[in-house]
Amino acid sequence: MRKRILITGGAGFIGSHLCEKLLNEGNEVICVDNFFTGTKDNIKHLLGNPYFEVIRHDICFPLYVEVDEIYNLACPASPVHYQKDPVQTIKVSVIGSINMLGLAKRLKVKILQASTSEVYGDPEVHPQKEEYWGNVNPIGPRACYDEGKRCAETLFFDYYRQHNLPIRVVRIFNTYGPRMHPNDGRVVSNFIVQALKNEPITVYGDGSQTRSFCYVNDLVDGMIKMMNNSDNFTGPVNLGNPEEYRIIDLAEKIIDLSNSKSKIIFKPLPQDDPKRRRPDITLAKEKLNWEPKVPVEEGLKRTIEYFERLLKEGKIR
């Protein structure tokens, strides 16, 4: 039977891939976005589908629709965007979550929260397991996102305990792929755009800090498996690629894959930037039978092709 699924932040990078996958699986999808960081270009190829609907709406205000499931992805997710309007970032995580949880409660439907590895802050435990409580600076420049997402998790579990609401919480680690915002300040998109333009590649610190990179299709599969798990597993569960990359090695790989003439330059590390980030995905393997399948090199090639196309079309300045 065709499910009617609401996706907040559905015109964003991850949200648009989720819309596409759920439509391809035969569902009806309502994409809700205020287009603060999401773009119509991400979803224009879906607009001809009669089972796809777009609503321009800010979830800081209540929304009244009838649906069978809710995926809550609405929130700017890169430092450039969430620090541009930190108060709005906190509002969408907290007030937006309250509104979506209220909708789920009224409709008695499952709701999934797209949380983040940022809830671990600059971790003192490595790799990060779900039971680690994190090391977050509550008054720093990243706190609007880190603490906003931590509070959203609190709200989800309080609705679960107080109202018996069926919730799912996933903690998303660094994700990359086509439809990333070219100017979002994230390391993969930054490096690729700089490499394709043969500009100097900016590495913050000495490049020894690490990240793990999960291809977007793998992540979306994990989110759907989490929503559909039948044993009422609420999470939180880490979704990400457990392979750890030094930032300097990623820069060199992207230069190589894009045949770039770029040189690497070094700048000071931003405040509260985590030194190491890598998920322990034991729980996802055990509960969801999920792990990433797309190798980093293959995913980077696909992402580079996407940005090459944007450059040719004059969509990157």
- CA dist list (Å): 269 to 20, 82, 143, 207: 36, 18, 17, 9
DSSP letter string over 98-120?
HHHHHHHHHHT-EEEEEEEGGGG
Please, what is the angle between helix 247-257 and helix 187-196, to 10°? 40
Catalytic residue among 82, 120, 145, 176: 145
Q: Sort 153 into a burial class: Cβ within 10 Å, 0-12 / 13-18 / 19+.
A: buried
Q: Is 132 a residue of the active site?
A: no
Closest C-alpha among 17, 33, 24, 29 to residue 53: 29
Contact in structure between 149 and 203 (CB atoms under 8 Å): no
Number of Cβ within a 10 Å radius of residue 315: 12
As annotated, the active-site residues are: 145
